[in-house]
Chain A
Amino acid sequence: MDKTLFEKIWQHHLVQELDDGAALIYIDRVFLHERTGSIALKSLEADKRKVVSPEHVFCTMDHIVDTVIGRGDNTKVPSGKNFILATRDACIDARIKLFDVNDPQQGIVHVVSPELGIVQPGATLVCPDSHTCSQGALGALAWGIGSSEAEHALATKTLRVSKPKTMKVNFNGQLGFGVTAKDMILHLIGKYSAAGGAGYVIEFGGTAVDALDIEGRLTLCNMAVEFSAFTGLVAPDDKAIAYLKGREYTPKGALWQQAVAFWQSLYSDEHAQFDKTIEIDCADISPTITWGNSPQHACAVDSVVPFAPADATQNQLQALNRAYEYMDLPAGSALKGLPIGAAFIGSCTNSRISDLRLAAKVLKGRKVAENVNAICVPGSTTVKRQAEAEGLDKIFIAAGFEWREAGCSMCFFAGGESFGYRQRVVTSTNRNFESRQGPETRSHLASPATVAACAIAGCIADVREYL
């Protein structure tokens, strides 16, 4: 019988059906970070349990570590140092590979894992971080879990998982000028709501996904969780295989040949049945930006803050009114031209080399508007070095951007650094939740190219006028 890509991977990892529609699933790789990994490892030890396959476990310092140049173990996040020290000790004790604060391969987990070839097609990978879905871009089944589940995966090399339903999202046609993977996923969530993917594993496909490079697919899959999906994935093609070739943790020699032969069998069969299918015409996608406090509040950059639909329920109205109020944007307000106080390029969504190249293209020879606090935080130390080798750092700095060390940084506010109180920020991150980037900060999600254009304009701007 024809199978979807997801069903194939599920079958390969099925240790045992449990009696309730759930299954015991074998886990190939676990990734940890200092924020939740430290707690999981500590708690495991307290329960006298062991990490059964430490060689398959990796850890990075990304969430709490400072991103200022010259950083060490001290952090602006209150008591952050404790997380760093506890993680380091726990990794040493458990013999887990750690990408430590000043390791040349340190960076955000979902940037580091693909770039080192730790995530591979057809594998299962989990991490106590919701954006683990990003890594599905390489054809892996990768999903975010909680800390207790991480303990479970570390101690048993399995997880108990309820089987999700399957959804195919096809992006048909070609992306318009100035439109990126970020705009695709914001458009999808804007159209089908932040709960639109609940209960599903989503395979992204269609001509526009085929045409994306791997970094674009990582951006697309990154926000599957913002669509409430179990996870997202893309069938591995020649681009995925070429991307992985030669990376540090990918197989070499005969094993590489064997792996590639297997990877080529990872696609949804022609007549495979999905529980749901969504078709998107890429001609409908403009450079997109969010206006509210949920990723579903996304619209074309040249449109206005939408009015409540006539059929809105009481709860929906309440949420919309809260969003208008929180963002200080009444329905009908134009987005373009709205003054901003800060611009942020970074996060596991958009901080890879292709993102920085595109932003640099917009910034080259231009200056960030006065009063705009503009910051660029590369996703990994590897990305940072590559960007510096290409001279991108000089373009960012000359334009007036701050150029940082790798990490999650101001993607979220942990009590240390943040954007200003009620400040309006255009950001390449994935969450515009209330106070996500600082106390009552008003975050507008957009592509890194749009963020760069807004930084120059000093207000929300249409990137197409800057390319």
Chain B
Amino acid sequence: MEKFTVHQGVAAPMLQINIDTDAIIPSREMKLVSKQGLGEGLFAGWRYTLPNGREPNEDFVLNQAQYKNSSILLAGDNFGCGSSREHAVWALKEYGIKAIIAPGFGSIFYHNCIRNGILPVVLGNDEVLALANHVEKDPQTCQVNINLLECYVCAYNTDHQSTELEATDSVNETLRFSFSILPAQQEMLLEGLDGIALTLKSKSNIASFKQAYQRQYPWLA
């Protein structure tokens, strides 16, 4: 899995609350027995003018020129609620989304993000709004920077930089918010770790638990 440490990019605001996984990837777009081939179907119901069509709907935020190459979403509360379909995360990933910042997430969706290297960041409603206000000034230059090592998000103006990325100069310190994430989830993202491999380190624990468990609850054995 790809590692996530620091990411900076164009952020698109989609502040409507309760955006569900059916909206992120409609069922009709999940055509293959595969985790691939889903990026095109991302937000298909909103992104294209017709169901099953491919003509871009110019009103949809990700289709607008100023939001070209968005890699971060600024979302409303309860983003990714609804269906457990991991396809929603696979579609976001294939599209190029690296992180989503919202006041809250659907819980299955949140875990699916972590398992696929996408960083879900929980910030307060006002903080997300502040970032959206920053971005809307000029999305291509008013970007967002996310640091998972130190767990903060800040506004970032590419204008302020000379030729090279100089994080200290270009960071607009007035918009800097810290966030929290469970250490194991942080580690999985930072290291690009696979949860199964991590758990299999506890293999002998699991085996001895299983033995005792099956003695105690033989009808489930």
Complex contacts, A421 vs chain B, CB 8 Å = 51
Q: Are B125's CB and A198's CB within 8 A? A: no
Residues of B within 8 A of A172 (CB): none
Q: Is B26 an interface residue (CB 8 A)?
A: yes
Q: Enumerate chain A residues within 8 angstroms of B33, measured Cβ to Cβ.
A: 38-39, 42, 82-83, 86
Q: Check A194 against B199 for contact (C-beta < 8 Å).
A: no
Which B181-221 residues have C-beta < 8 A from chain A? 182-185, 195-196, 198-200, 202-203, 205-206, 209-210, 213, 217-220
Q: Please indicate the chain B residues that have their CB under 8 angstroms from the CB of A22 in the complex.
A: 182, 184
Say whether, besides A15-B205, A130-B108, A255-B218, A147 and B184 are in contact (CB < 8 Å). no
Residues in B neighbouring A251, C-beta threshold 8 A: 219
B18–A148 contact, CB under 8 A?
A: no
| Any B CB within 8 A of the CB of A413 | yes
- Knowing A146-B108, A198-B107, A230-B107 are in contact, say whether A20-B116 is a contact too (CB < 8 A): no
Considering only residues 59-90 of chain B, those with a C-beta below 8 Å from chain A are 76-78, 81-86, 89
Interface size class of chain B, counting residues whose CB lies under 8 Å from the partner chain: 35 or more
> Once the chains bind, are B220 and A162 in contact (CB under 8 Å)?
no
Q: Determine if A20 and B184 form an interchain contact, defined as CB atoms under 8 angstroms apart.
A: yes
For window 53-87 of A, CB contacts with B under 8 Å fall at 77-79, 82-83, 86
Q: Are B78 and A198 in contact (CB under 8 A)?
A: yes
Verify A144–B108 contact, CB threshold 8 A.
Answer: yes
Selected from B28, B85, B183, the residue in CB contact (under 8 A) with A20 is B183
Give Cα A146–Cα B81 distance, bound, in whole angstroms.
13
Q: Which residue of A lies closest to B75 (CB)?
A: A315
A146 contacts B111, C-beta separation under 8 Å: yes
Report A115-148 residues with CB < 8 Å from chain B CB: 120, 122-123, 128-130, 144-148
Cβ of B218: which chain A residues have Cβ within 8 Å of it? 255, 258
Task: Check: B151 CB closer than 8 A to any chain A CB.
Answer: no
Cα–Cα, bound, A35→B25 (Å)? 14
**Nearest chain A CB to B169 CB, angstrom units:** 33
Q: Is B195 in contact with A148, judged by CB distance below 8 angstroms?
A: yes
Query: With an 8 A cutoff between CB atoms, is A158 at the interface?
Result: yes
CA distance A396 to B32 in the complex (A): 36
Interface centre among B15, B182, B196 (most CB of A within 10 A): B196
Give chain A interface residues in 193-215, CB to chain B under 8 Å: 194-195, 198-199
User: B161 an interface residue at 8 Å Cβ cutoff?
Assistant: no
Q: Report A-chain residues with C-beta under 8 Å of the C-beta of B199.
A: 24, 152, 156, 158, 160
What are the interface flags for A281-324 relative to B under an 8 Å C-beta threshold, 1 for contact and 0 otherwise?
00000000000001010000000000000000111101100100
Contacts of B178 in A (CB 8 A): none
User: Please, which residues of chain A bring their CB within 8 A of the CB of B32?
Assistant: 79, 82
A415: B residues at CB distance < 8 A: 27-29, 31, 52
Chain A residues with CB under 8 A of B83: 130, 412, 431
Please state if B184 and A19 are interface contacts (CB–CB under 8 Å): yes
Pairwise interchain contact B104-A435, C-beta atoms closer than 8 A: no
| Chain A facing B: main interface SS | loop
A149 within 8 A of B: yes
CA distance A145 to B195 in the complex (A): 14
Question: How many Å lie between the Cα of A302 and that of B184 in the bound state?
Answer: 50
Chain B positions within 8 Å of A162 at CB level: 182
CB B1 to nearest CB in A, in angstroms, measures 10
Chain B residues within an 8 Å CB radius of A436? 22
Among B18, B183, B184, B209, point to the contact of A294 (Cβ < 8 A). Answer: B18
Closest residue on chain A to residue B83 by CB atoms:
A130
Interface residues of A in 1-50 (CB under 8 A from B): 12-13, 15-16, 18-22, 24, 26, 28, 35-36, 38-39, 42-43, 47, 49
Complex: how many Å from CA A50 to CA B202? 16
Nearest A residue to B217 via CB reads: A262
Residues of chain A with a CB closer than 8 A to B20's CB: 431, 433
Question: Which residues of chain A come closer than 8 Å to B30, judged between CB atoms?
Answer: 35, 414
Q: Considering the chains assembled together, what is the distance between the CA atoms of A162 and B111 in angstroms? A: 10
Closest to A318 in B: B16
Instruction: Say whether B145 faces chain A, with CB atoms less than 8 Å apart.
Output: no
The answer to whether A39 and B27 have CB atoms under 8 Å apart is no
**Is B45 located at the chain interface by the 8 A CB criterion?**
yes
Decide if B35 is an interface residue (CB 8 Å cutoff). Answer: yes
Complexed CA–CA distance, A455 and B206 (Å): 53
Q: What separation, in Å, do the CA atoms of A435 and B23 have in the docked complex?
A: 8
Interface of chain B residues 84 through 137 with chain A (CB within 8 A): 84-86, 89, 104, 106-109, 111-112, 115-116, 125, 129
Q: A435 contacts which chain B residues (CB < 8 A)? A: 22-23, 26, 45, 51
Q: Is residue A439 within 8 Å, beta carbon to beta carbon, of the partner chain?
A: yes
**Contact, CB under 8 Å: B196 / A152:** yes
Whole-angstrom distance between the alpha carbons of A18 and B186 in the complex? 14
| With contact pairs A158-B206, A195-B77, A431-B22 given, residues A413 and B27 touching in the complex (Cβ less than 8 Å) | yes
Which B residues lie within 8 Å of A19 (CB)? 183-184
Task: For chain A, residues 233 to 282, give those with C-beta under 8 angstroms from any C-beta of chain B.
Answer: 250-251, 255-256, 258-259, 262
Contacts of A194 in B (CB 8 A): 18, 78, 81
Chain B residues within an 8 Å CB radius of A42 = 33-34
Which of B16, B108, B109 counts the most chain A CB atoms within 10 A?
B108
Residues of A within 8 A of B22 (CB): 412, 431, 433-436
**A21/B182 in contact, CB under 8 A:** yes
**Inter-subunit contact A149/B111 (CB<8 Å):** yes
Q: Using Cβ atoms and an 8 Å threshold, which residues of chain A touch B200?
A: 155-156
Q: Is A402 an interface residue (CB 8 A)?
A: no
A100 interface contact, C-beta 8 A: no
Supply 9 A–B pairs (Cβ within 8 Å), ascending by A. Answer: A15-B206, A15-B209, A39-B35, A198-B78, A230-B107, A251-B219, A319-B16, A415-B28, A433-B82
Spell out A's residues near B (CB within 8 Å): 12-13, 15-16, 18-22, 24, 26, 28, 35-36, 38-39, 42-43, 47, 49, 77-79, 82-83, 86, 120, 122-123, 128-130, 144-149, 151-152, 155-158, 160, 162, 194-195, 198-199, 225, 228, 230, 250-251, 255-256, 258-259, 262, 294, 296, 313-316, 318-319, 322, 412-415, 421, 431, 433-436, 439-440
Q: Report, nearest first, the 5 A-B pairs whose CB atoms are least far apart.
A: A415-B28, A251-B219, A439-B51, A146-B86, A146-B112
